[in-house]
Amino acid sequence: MATIAALLPLLLLSACGLFPDKGDPTRDWSAARLYKEAKDELNSGSYEQAIKYYESLEARFPYGAYSQQAQIESAYAYFKQGEAASAIAAIDRFLKLHPSHSSTDYAYYLKGLVHFNEDMGLFGKFSGQDLTERDPKAARDSFDAFKELARRFPDSKYTPDAVARMKYLVNALASSEVHVARWYMRRGAYIAAANRAQYALRYYPEAPAIEEALFVMVKAYDALGMNQLRDDAERVMRRNFPKSAYLTGAAAASGPWWKLW
């Protein structure tokens, strides 16, 4: 009896081989056929079905050009499907396995786009949520991916768009820091306000939001009685923004400056 019990699993496996699963219509497809069908589904917007074909392709034919292409195209399908985490995981795996692939530049661009799409939910749609409650990690991750693309592939056809998006992201991140600084100012947390404004100034010196960051520093240091730091910040502000509405008082025409927002 013990011998029969030991052989039973083997017999069952053999039986499975005698009766193949006829429910999978792709079971006899070649790698080329699977890729073509997946690509057709992708182009038609059937992202879920495309992902299934790509996954089957990778599982059955893990080596070769079709499998490599399936990895990066499935990442795009995940992105279009709204599955950001799966898209990033697929991209990172592709970059790790094929660092010298001809589509490496596209992989970095797609990674930036996936994070950028998340960022648009933070900065672009203004759902009413307070910016101080939002995590700008997606914007930073997007910027880093685009930056890596521009650094490694300056002549890539994707780089000009990546650079344009980086400029947007820089100002979005700077604006987020200044927004937090304003939030601290309203609550009388002047040291925290000055620190956040200074952070924006240090890391995003070319962003338009820097004008307001300097003004926050001026007012925060003034409230703290740090006259030297206040004068230094105001001197920098006057030199770089001599016609600033904050300094001329035009910005406060409708009331105190802290009620402008």
Kindly report the CATH number assigned to the domain that includes residue 55.
Answer: 1.25.40.10
Q: Is the dihedral of CA 117, 201, 235, 224 positive or negative?
A: positive
d(CA 48, CA 77): 8
The whole-model pTM stands at 0.74
d(CA 6, CA 11): 10
d(CA 181, CA 183): 5
Query: Considering the domain boundaries, does residue 233 fall inside one?
Result: no
Query: Considering the domain boundaries, does residue 93 fall inside one?
Result: yes
Query: Considering the domain boundaries, does residue 227 fall inside one?
Result: no
Q: How many CB atoms are located within 10 Å of the residue 153 CB?
A: 17
User: Considering its fold, how many domains does the chain have in total?
Assistant: 1
pLDDT means over runs of 10, the chain (261 residues): 49 45 78 95 96 94 92 96 95 94 96 85 48 70 95 97 93 90 95 96 91 95 95 94 80 42 34
d(CA 4, CA 104): 54
Query: Considering the domain boundaries, does residue 119 fall inside one?
Result: no
Q: Could you tell me the residue range of the domain that residue 69 belongs to?
A: 32-99
Q: Where are the alpha helices (DSSP H) in 61-209?
A: 65-81, 84-97, 104-119, 137-152, 159-186, 190-203
Instruction: Extract the tokens encoding 69.
Output: 């292409």
Query: Considering the domain boundaries, does residue 13 fall inside one?
Result: no
Query: Considering the domain boundaries, does residue 247 fall inside one?
Result: no
Phi-psi category of residue 126: left, alpha or beta, with phi > 0 → left and psi -120 to 50 → alpha: left
Query: Considering the domain boundaries, does residue 48 fall inside one?
Result: yes
Query: Considering the domain boundaries, does residue 69 fall inside one?
Result: yes
Looking at residue 119, its pLDDT comes to 58
